[in-house]
């Protein structure tokens, strides 16, 4: 194993740790929203304002990340934005009034936006360096972190721990982990002026020298060679990202209410669908890279869209609780592959400007969250919650029309990956 391969392998493990920590921290926040509301006396009318502020500010953070990486490596943005996210979580748990809560949530949202963008920038560039699908593995680590974070939140609620007592020790463990792991992040993206390898070749550390095929890839994919991002080409992927997160937010925000109010389950059983969804998401992402390597990204995204739509259909017609839970489980298998492959597709479309493409695409992550929950809630209240589930089902099927954007045209993906022997990580 060469020194470059060793460094790349360590970078892969370090980035997986960053995804895991982010999943845990985010779950610790969103699963304890009722406790946050009680601690600060946030009224039901004011709560949606606080909740909407986080994705809005996160979108700003993603745009800021695009600007920062013009002069700072994505690994640096990731290192300090993840530290800021952890500290902001403690701020949410330790504040004393609404003003402090608002400040902590703004800090959290801004840091999360930069963090999400930087993590996926590094994931896309590392997959490019490997020449084979590894992105789903990073998002599997995020899902695992979410399960761990939600479990810790449940333990805190069960033991009646204050938010600060819950968040403080967790951050005290996770923050050093992220800072230590950040030593091995690998910026394997495009070359910047003045960033040279020790061997003087001028290529980013951990990446292979670009081939003629890579340089031609921008034109073959229809993207500008000189590093500009075309909104016309990126828009289909933006729609896919937004629609996928509308589906995801439907599960996280409405699965419990749907099971209890529509399917007549108990309050305890109503907590099961989201947990099952998280588990199937983890399983799907764990094996997803293997499927992408064999069948190609476009096939996997098409299949995921159909499976997700099938899950929504089962939920819509479910006669009882367990059928509904099965539908949400199927949803997890379908939706889990779409978002990671959307980031990869953006990097493939714009190989000379992958960081900018990923940052802009990441904004539509938060657009989906902002639109999804109010949309389903409004339709359910005005019409019927079974009928409301048809809307995300139709939206996720739009991905089928955009699947051409996922076809591999460069050195990897779409059946053009390098041999398995190249991967040593």
**What sign does the dihedral 315-317-321-326 (CA atoms) show?**
negative
Angstrom distances, CA of residue 118 to CA of 32, 310, 359, 360: 26, 33, 8, 11
pLDDT (tens digit, 9 = 90+) per residue, 266-289? 877 887 888 899 999 999 999 999
223 and 233 Cβ atoms separated by less than 8 Å: yes
pLDDT (tens digit, 9 = 90+) per residue, 157-216? 888 899 999 999 999 999 999 999 999 999 864 434 333 333 333 344 444 444 333 333
Cα separation, 319 vs 323, in Å, equals 7
Query: Are 1-187 and 218-417 equal in CATH topology?
Result: yes
Phi then psi for residue 164, to 5 deg, are -65, -40
Predicted confidence at residue 89, as pLDDT, reads 96
Phi then psi for residue 187, to 5 deg, are -90, 95
pTM: 0.85
Residue in 60, 57, 63 with CA at minimum distance from that of residue 359: 63
Cα separation, 108 vs 86, in Å, equals 8
351 and 223 Cβ atoms separated by less than 8 Å: yes
78 and 61 Cβ atoms separated by less than 8 Å: no
134 and 126 Cβ atoms separated by less than 8 Å: yes
Apex 106 CA angle, 81 and 172, nearest 5: 50
Residues of the chain falling short of pLDDT 50: 189-226, 409-425
409 and 217 Cβ atoms separated by less than 8 Å: yes
DSSP state of 262: I
Which residues fall within 8 angstroms of residue 213, CB to CB, at 6 or more apart?
A: 410, 411
Cα separation, 17 vs 80, in Å, equals 15
395 SS3 class: helix
DSSP string of 28-68, one letter each residue: HHHTTHHHHHHHHT--TTTHHHHHHHHHHHHHHHHHHHHHH
Burial class (CB in 10 A: 0-12, 13-18, 19+), 190: buried
CATH topology of domain 1-187: Growth Hormone; Chain: A; (1.20.1250)
Cα separation, 205 vs 199, in Å, equals 10
DSSP state of 349: H
Mark residue 269 as left, alpha or beta (left: phi above 0; alpha: psi -120 to 50; beta: remaining).
alpha
CATH topology of domain 218-417: Growth Hormone; Chain: A; (1.20.1250)
DSSP state of 410: S
Q: What is the 3-state secondary structure (H, E, C) of 200-261?
A: CCCCCCCCCCCCHHHHHHHHHHCCCCCCCCCHHHHHHHHHHHHHHHHHHHHHHHHHHHHHHH
Beta-carbon count within 10 A of 383 CB: 11
Cα separation, 161 vs 155, in Å, equals 8
Cα separation, 412 vs 423, in Å, equals 12
Phi then psi for residue 132, to 5 deg, are -155, 165
Q: How many CA atoms lie within 13 A of 89 on its CB side?
A: 31
Predicted confidence at residue 336, as pLDDT, reads 95
Predicted confidence at residue 174, as pLDDT, reads 95
- The dihedral formed by the CA atoms of 257, 253, 251 and 399, expressed in degrees to the nearest 10: 130
Per-domain boundaries in the chain: 1-187, 218-417
Beta-carbon count within 10 A of 13 CB: 12
Cα separation, 380 vs 387, in Å, equals 7
**What sign does the dihedral 120-126-131-135 (CA atoms) show?**
negative
């Amino acid at each position: 194993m060469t020194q470059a391969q060793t460094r790349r392998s360590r970078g892969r493990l370090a980035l997986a740790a960053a995804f895991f920590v982010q999943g845990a921290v985010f779950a610790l926040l969103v699963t304890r929203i009722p406790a946050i509301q009680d601690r600060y006396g946030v009224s039901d009318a004011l709560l949606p304002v606080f909740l909407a502020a986080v994705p809005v500010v996160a979108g700003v953070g993603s745009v800021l990340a695009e600007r920062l990486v013009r002069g700072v490596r994505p690994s640096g943005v990731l290192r300090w934005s993840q530290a800021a996210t952890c500290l902001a979580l403690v701020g949410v748990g330790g504040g004393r009034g609404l003003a402090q809560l608002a400040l902590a949530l703004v800090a959290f949202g801004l840091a999360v936006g930069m963090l999400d963008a930087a993590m996926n920038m590094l994931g896309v560039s590392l997959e490019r360096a490997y020449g084979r699908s590894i992105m789903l593995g990073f998002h599997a680590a995020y899902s695992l972190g979410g399960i761990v974070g939600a479990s810790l939140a449940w333990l805190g609620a069960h033991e009646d721990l204050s938010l600060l007592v819950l968040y403080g020790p967790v951050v005290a463990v996770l923050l050093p982990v992220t800072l230590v792991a950040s030593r091995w992040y690998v910026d394997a993206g495009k070359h910047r002026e003045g960033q040279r390898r020790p061997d003087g070749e001028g290529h980013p550390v951990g990446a292979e020298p670009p081939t003629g095929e890579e340089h031609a890839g921008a034109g073959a994919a229809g993207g500008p060679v000189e590093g500009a991002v075309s909104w016309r080409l990126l828009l289909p992927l933006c729609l896919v990202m937004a629609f996928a997160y509308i589906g995801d937010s439907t599960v996280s925000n409405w699965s419990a209410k749907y099971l209890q109010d529509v399917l007549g389950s108990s309050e305890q059983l109503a907590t099961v669908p989201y947990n099952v969804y998280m588990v199937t998401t983890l399983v799907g992402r764990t094996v997803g890279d293997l499927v992408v390597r064999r069948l190609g990204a476009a096939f996997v995204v098409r299949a995921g869209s159909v499976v997700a739509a099938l899950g929504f259909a089962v939920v819509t017609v479910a006669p009882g609780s367990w059928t509904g839970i099965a539908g949400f489980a199927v949803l997890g298998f379908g939706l889990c592959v779409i978002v990671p492959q959307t980031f990869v597709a953006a990097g493939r479309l714009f190989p000379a400007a992958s960081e900018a493409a990923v940052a802009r695409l990441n904004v539509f992550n938060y657009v989906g969250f902002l639109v999804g929950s109010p949309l389903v809630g409004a339709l359910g209240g005005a019409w019927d919650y079974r009928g409301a589930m048809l809307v995300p089902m139709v939206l996720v099927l739009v991905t089928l029309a955009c699947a051409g954007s996922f076809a591999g045209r460069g050195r990897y993906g779409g059946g053009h990956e390098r041999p398995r022997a190249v991967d040593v990580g």
